[in-house]
Structure 1
Amino acid sequence: MTLRLRLLLAFAFLSVVTAVAVAGAGYVRSRDAIVQRAQDNAVIETTNRVEQLYPLPARPPDAASLERIAGKVSGREGMALARARGVSAGSMDPSVITPELQSLVSSGQVGWQRVPYAGAVWLVVGMQMRVSGGGSSGIEVYVLRPFTSEIEVVDELARNAWLIGGAGLVLALGMGFLAARGVLRPVRDLRMAAWRLGQGDLSARVPVRGRDELAAVATTFNSTAASLEHHVGELRRMEADARRFVADVSHELRTPLAAMTAVTDVLDAETAALPGVAGQAARLVNRETQNLTRLVNDLIEVTRFDSGTAALALDDVDVAEVVSRTLRMRGFEVSATLPPDVRARLDPRRLDVIVANLVGNALRHGAPPVSVRLSVEESSLVIEVADSGPGLPEDVLPHVFARFYKADSARGRSEGSGLGLAIAWENARLHGGTLVAGNRPGGGALFTLRLPLGGER
């Protein structure tokens, strides 16, 4: 449920409760007052009319005298009934007199009761007529008068109460909508700014309105975003400087390394003629020069990826032929399953780099036999490189393609540059493919390369 809907429901609930409490209480009090006043007036009016008949004649009442009494007390709108000693007379229907009212009147009290009659509500008032000495005359008088006007007033009160409650509800919903709009606008601005910040737009800011709590939150967000923008800018600047430094140093090292490589190649050709220690030193210098050259070349390749200048030279190639040439040129002794006539549009040089790094890593850190398998799954080219070693530990898998990552920090320097798997992963990503590391169920590491056959990126 949205915050706007919750606010509207809260205002609606509050207005309903308030309307019910105020209008309901006012309706009940007004209704009771109207009904009570109407009943009191009816009792007083009936009593006055009965008193106008005093003094009563001394003779026992007959039907004619009871008819006269009923006619005097009935009034213009009502009907009356007078009865004594089993004789009754008048225009009122005796069936509307309830046993409760009759018992109350028989005890000498004045009673009244609302009863349904002729499809409406009527009021029955009953009392005994007294003789001059205060005793009972034995005559009971009942007056039935309509209660229609009072009921209409009460109904009008009920309608007004409903109208007031409905108007209050509409007003509360309108106020709730305006309040929700005013409260949620800063929240919506904050959400949009946070989304933009998450998408990398560090210039996202929230307009500050007023001096309430939401304004304080907006101010805090803006200061945090400004601080984040500053620190990220500094980090980016430092990272750009570091990349530029690595690129510059790598390029500067290529010229002296070329000279050193030429010299070490000459020394390597003469190592057989050199005495023992000198020959070992010459071979060591040649090997380390080759490692340094490989490291510099890998660093230059990484800087191309980081700067976004690495590009594909796509061509329609026979994948089995490219992989076979890679294995043959480097002298890798592996088991290869390379079905013919698998063609794909890709960069053959970068595929050569990927396969060489994967197989070289398997031979250095795994155990033979190492296998390379080529297959096609739907619209993807799949190359799997597996070894028979102990496999990759679970804590190493998330970092296996990180630059210069070592599974064992105590492990000495290896022959590789520490960038081979990272470069293979970048080349796979450049093709729009994936490179995933895992373990085979029977043991050993498994690297799976997937590239689109059509060269899509």
Structure 2
Amino acid sequence: MRQPGRRSGKPRGSRVPRGLRARLVVTFVLVALIGTGTATALAYRDARTAVLSRTQEAAQEDLRTRVAALAPDVDVPPDPRSLAALARSVSSGLTGAPLVVARYENLKAASDGSPDDPRVTAELRADVRVSGRMSFQRVTRDGTPYLVVGTPVTYEGGRPSRLEVFAVTPLRAEERDIAALLTSVRDGLLPVLVLTAVLALLAARTVLRPVRDLGRATRRLAEGDLGTRVEPRGRDELADLARDFNTTADALQTTVAELRDQEAKAREQEARAREQEAKARRFVADVSHELRTPLAAMTMVATVLDEDADRLTPDAAHAARTVSAETAKLTRLVDDLMEMSRFDAGVARLHLTEADLAATVRSSLGLRAWTDRVRTELPDSAPALIDVRRIDVTLANLVGNALRHGAPPVTVRLTTGDGLATVTVSDHGPGLAPDVVAHVFDRFYKADAARTRSEGSGLGTAIALENARLHGGTVEAANRPEGPGAVFTLRLPLRPAAGPEGEPR
């Protein structure tokens, strides 16, 4: 939801131009404004410098000429009266009759009777006295600019007379001329900016038309209209961009068509694979179910033959025992297949009971006569809520796998903590190859293709994993970090949350 006072993520009062057209116009106007302002500033500076330079040169020339004409008639050292007369005479002969101040050492006089005029600064007097030549200075007094020109009076041959004359000329007329020039330039700035804005709008319209066309085509393409194309106009960069867009759209349309064909084929193959897998599972379940009855009869016959094997001939006894062993293996295989079919059908259920997990481990090893072949590290007791039968099957598969494919010693370790029970089954065999670890829990997977069929069905680890998952746990396979050998780790919650019919939630 947009917040009050905001639009499109920016403050409502923002004056930043958002459209490309507005940015182009603003850029053009700014460039024109900067250019015009720069030209105005340069023109003002040059005009002011020219006007002031002309005034300065004229004032200096007038003063030099007037002093040169009157100086021979002045007695040196002068008295106050002759000094005042000199100041008045010089002033009357200059353009505009400016104020003139004449000085001789400590004696001074002015054309208007005020010899201590502050516009004749100490810096200018010192410059005239020390340099011995004409100097000038621009000063401002009460907001009015003045040009002050000073010159020493010399004898013939250039000897200084210690007589100095200063003329103070106002620069009001020059400042008015310069201000009028600045006003005229400023008044012409607005029409220039308006003309620039109009030209910018025309240029933006010409430039942005193909850009807008590209924008509309891009939106249609994004909405799924893969047949959208743009008509290139001209031979500039925008036309090249339009042609590149059309090329990209062609490639995209071709790629999408190919991907759709591949996706349709993949969906079809996936559907066939699921159907075949479902048929295979139903076939295994049906075959396993159908084999149970004849297997039961075969088991009874094999048991009788095995019991009477001692009274048979050696060849017949060997055959009887072989039939009995193979029948038992076939029975276990059918039982495993039936168990996997229940997992696949989602009908496998837990029957949770309060039990001692440590005692369950000992019982599982003792039932199979593995107590002397397996080392155990078990606590005195580990109370847990488990399905004893499924945990027994899981332990039997993991320990049996270690005994068949690993090397002694095989160790079973049980630890509890943080509501979890961890059972590790480790051996000192060659361990698991990297490509085996990723598939060790796959059904019917055997690491060694040359392994004989009597070494198992390849369902043991898969059944162990499914039983652990029913409990809300897991089984992991890895190699022992401290040396050769494999280690299988079973993790179970001590108190799994049970749902209907004992199934964990």
Which bracket does the TM-score occupy, shorter chain normalised?
Answer: 0.5 to 0.7
What is the aligned partner in structure 1 of residue 233 from structure 2?
A: none
Counterpart Cα distance in 2 of 1:16 and 1:413: 85
What is the aligned partner in structure 2 of residue 452 from structure 1?
A: 493
1:93 pairs with 2:94: no
Query: Counterpart of 1:407 in 2: which secondary structure?
Result: coil
In the alignment, residue 282 of structure 2 is paired with which amino acid? D
Q: Displacement of 1:235 after TM fit?
A: 4.6
Preserved contact between residue 116 and residue 122 of structure 1 (Cα < 8 Å): yes
Closer/same/farther in 2, CA of residues 323 and 57 from structure 1, 3 Å limit: closer
Preserved contact between residue 477 and residue 488 of structure 2 (Cα < 8 Å): yes
Counterpart Cα distance in 2 of 1:112 and 1:306: 110
Preserved contact between residue 268 and residue 282 of structure 1 (Cα < 8 Å): no
In the alignment, residue 72 of structure 1 is paired with which amino acid? G
Q: Displacement of 1:153 after TM fit?
A: 7.2
What is the aligned partner in structure 2 of residue 72 from structure 1?
A: 96
Counterpart Cα distance in 2 of 1:344 and 1:150: 103
What CA deviation, in whole Å up to 9, does each residue of 1:110-148 have, x standing for no partner? x999x67469896859899xxxxxxxxx99885545589
Closer/same/farther in 2, CA of residues 57 and 394 from structure 1, 3 Å limit: closer
What is the aligned partner in structure 2 of residue 385 from structure 1?
A: 425
Preserved contact between residue 62 and residue 94 of structure 2 (Cα < 8 Å): no
When normalised by structure 1's length, the TM-score is 0.63
Closer/same/farther in 2, CA of residues 122 and 32 from structure 1, 3 Å limit: farther
* Match runs of 1:197-212 below 5 Å: 212=245
Preserved contact between residue 148 and residue 167 of structure 2 (Cα < 8 Å): no
In the alignment, residue 64 of structure 1 is paired with which amino acid? R
Query: Counterpart of 2:453 in 1: which secondary structure?
Result: coil
What is the aligned partner in structure 1 of residue 356 from structure 2?
A: 318
What CA deviation, in whole Å up to 9, does each residue of 1:243-276 have, x standing for no partner? 3223222222232343034224413422514444
Q: Displacement of 1:25 after TM fit?
A: 3.7
Q: Displacement of 1:450 after TM fit?
A: 1.2
What is the aligned partner in structure 1 of residue 70 from structure 2?
A: 60
What is the aligned partner in structure 1 of residue 388 from structure 2?
A: 348
In the alignment, residue 393 of structure 2 is paired with which amino acid? V
Counterpart Cα distance in 2 of 1:316 and 1:118: 110
Preserved contact between residue 59 and residue 149 of structure 2 (Cα < 8 Å): no
* Match runs of 1:228-267 below 5 Å: 229-254=263-288, 255-267=290-302
Counterpart Cα distance in 2 of 1:437 and 1:331: 25
In the alignment, residue 420 of structure 1 is paired with which amino acid? G
What CA deviation, in whole Å up to 9, does each residue of 1:7-61 have, x standing for no partner? x9xx9x99999888665443222211123334445567889999999x9799527
Q: Displacement of 1:380 after TM fit?
A: 0.6
Closer/same/farther in 2, CA of residues 280 and 228 from structure 1, 3 Å limit: farther
1:330 pairs with 2:371: no
Preserved contact between residue 35 and residue 150 of structure 1 (Cα < 8 Å): no
Preserved contact between residue 428 and residue 434 of structure 1 (Cα < 8 Å): yes
Closer/same/farther in 2, CA of residues 116 and 220 from structure 1, 3 Å limit: farther
Preserved contact between residue 268 and residue 286 of structure 1 (Cα < 8 Å): yes
When normalised by structure 2's length, the TM-score is 0.58
Counterpart Cα distance in 2 of 1:303 and 1:112: 115
What is the aligned partner in structure 1 of residue 337 from structure 2?
A: 299
Query: Counterpart of 1:399 in 2: which secondary structure?
Result: coil
Closer/same/farther in 2, CA of residues 15 and 220 from structure 1, 3 Å limit: farther
Q: Displacement of 1:359 after TM fit?
A: 0.9
Out of 262-271 and 144-153, give the one that drifted further.
144-153
Closer/same/farther in 2, CA of residues 58 and 252 from structure 1, 3 Å limit: closer
Out of 63-72 and 412-421, give the one that drifted further.
63-72
In the alignment, residue 352 of structure 1 is paired with which amino acid? D
Q: Among residues 384, 389, 408, which one is paired with 1:368 in the alignment? A: 408
Closer/same/farther in 2, CA of residues 432 and 69 from structure 1, 3 Å limit: farther
Q: Displacement of 1:231 after TM fit?
A: 4.8
Preserved contact between residue 207 and residue 218 of structure 1 (Cα < 8 Å): no
In the alignment, residue 402 of structure 1 is paired with which amino acid? D
Q: Displacement of 1:451 after TM fit?
A: 0.9
Closer/same/farther in 2, CA of residues 454 and 260 from structure 1, 3 Å limit: closer
Query: Counterpart of 1:325 in 2: which secondary structure?
Result: helix
Percentage of identical aligned residues: 35
* Match runs of 1:70-219 below 5 Å: 72=96, 93-95=119-121, 117=140, 143-145=170-172, 212=245
Q: Displacement of 1:382 after TM fit?
A: 1.3
Closer/same/farther in 2, CA of residues 123 and 140 from structure 1, 3 Å limit: closer
Q: Displacement of 1:345 after TM fit?
A: 2.2
Query: Counterpart of 2:96 in 1: which secondary structure?
Result: helix
Query: Counterpart of 2:70 in 1: which secondary structure?
Result: coil
Counterpart Cα distance in 2 of 1:280 and 1:367: 30
Preserved contact between residue 295 and residue 327 of structure 2 (Cα < 8 Å): yes
Preserved contact between residue 313 and residue 346 of structure 1 (Cα < 8 Å): yes
Closer/same/farther in 2, CA of residues 374 and 34 from structure 1, 3 Å limit: same
Counterpart Cα distance in 2 of 1:274 and 1:16: 112
CA RMSD of aligned residues (A): 5.5
Preserved contact between residue 362 and residue 387 of structure 1 (Cα < 8 Å): yes
Greater Rg over alpha carbons, structure: 2
Q: Displacement of 1:358 after TM fit?
A: 0.4
Counterpart Cα distance in 1 of 2:389 and 2:296: 23
1:396 pairs with 2:436: yes
Closer/same/farther in 2, CA of residues 43 and 451 from structure 1, 3 Å limit: same
Counterpart Cα distance in 2 of 1:364 and 1:282: 25
Q: Which runs of 5+ in 2 are unaligned?
A: 1-8, 10-16, 72-85, 152-164, 191-210, 230-244, 498-504
Q: Displacement of 1:367 after TM fit?
A: 2.3
Preserved contact between residue 357 and residue 383 of structure 2 (Cα < 8 Å): yes
Q: Displacement of 1:405 after TM fit?
A: 2.9
Counterpart Cα distance in 2 of 1:120 and 1:429: 97
* Matched residue count: 390
Preserved contact between residue 372 and residue 385 of structure 1 (Cα < 8 Å): yes
Q: Displacement of 1:237 after TM fit?
A: 2.0
